[in-house]
Amino acid sequence: MTPAEIQARVLYRDQDVIVLDKPAGLAVHAGPNSPDHLELYLPALCYGWSRPPRLAHRLDRDTSGCLVLGRHDKAISRLGKLFMHGRIEKVYWAVVTGAPPGAEGRVDLPLKKITGTGGWRIVVAEDGQAATTLWRHLGSGDGLSWLECRLLSGRTHQIRVHLKALGCPVRGDAYYGPDPAPAFPLHLHARAVSVPALSPGKPSIHVEAPPPAHMRAALAACGWVADAP
């Protein structure tokens, strides 16, 4: 991305925080399979400060949407504490194959990372870490369902594994879906984030990210109506 392109993805900015609309397919950190990653582009978000913002949390490479950045050390520290104590609310939209068993519900299944010859993945396991996902059914169509998910814990791949266990895997999920080579990108989007005031006199923050282009047709089939321009 060019500096202008990454700046165009800024959803919110103040003296402490930037909320970015992360594109699907871009890893947030460098890695063996991630020569192109978000941290390469953060210097374009200095906006006059001497240091670029830093990640306050992470999103999976293939998940789009709201990503919170801290602009200085105090902001990073305060955001870290808010995330640790569950005071930052994140809302996700998922388009899944099939339908969930009801209008809303809760998945309480512990998750564990296992590593094998083909790499690693997350599985449900009794000796795993506690994980809870709240879900709500927003609409259905064409054999798909549109779900809203809220996390009460922040485990790797939590929504994807929990929705698979619910019997409705996320559309386009090559790891946890029925097709290891899906025809569609992952249909999981960090729709909104709410951050309490970082200090007295500062406002609380609520930001929403528009659905990415690759999810819009499936969302529309499930009843979503795009916001007016």
> pLDDT tens for residues 4-32?
999 999 999 999 999 999 999 999 988 77
pLDDT over 90 percentage in the chain: 87
Task: Using pLDDT thresholds of 50, 70 and 90, give the confidence band for residue 149.
Answer: very high
For residue 67, list its beta bridge partners. Answer: 20
Q: Model pTM? A: 0.94
Nearest to 63 by CA among 18, 116, 21: 21
Mean of the pLDDT values across residues 183-201? 94
At 156, list the tokens: 């790797």
Q: Is residue 229 scored above 60 in pLDDT?
A: no
pLDDT interval class at 180 (50, 70, 90): confident
Residue 82: predicted pLDDT: 95
Q: Catalytic one among 60, 73, 127, 142?
A: 60
Task: Map out the domains of the chain with their CATH numbers.
Answer: 3-221 (3.30.2350.10)
Q: What is the pLDDT of residues 102-139, one digit of tens each?
A: 999 999 999 999 998 778 899 999 999 999 999 999 99
Residue 201 pLDDT class (50, 70, 90 cuts): confident
The alpha carbon torsion through 163, 164, 169, 172 (nearest 10 deg) reads: 110
Predicted confidence at residue 178, as pLDDT, reads: 87
- Give me the percent of the chain exceeding a pLDDT of 70: 99
73 is catalytic: no
Model confidence at 228: pLDDT above 70: no
53-75 pLDDT per residue, tens: 999 999 999 999 999 999 999 99
* C-alpha separations of 100 from 91, 105, 156, 225 in Å: 18, 9, 22, 21
Q: What average pLDDT does the chain have?
A: 94
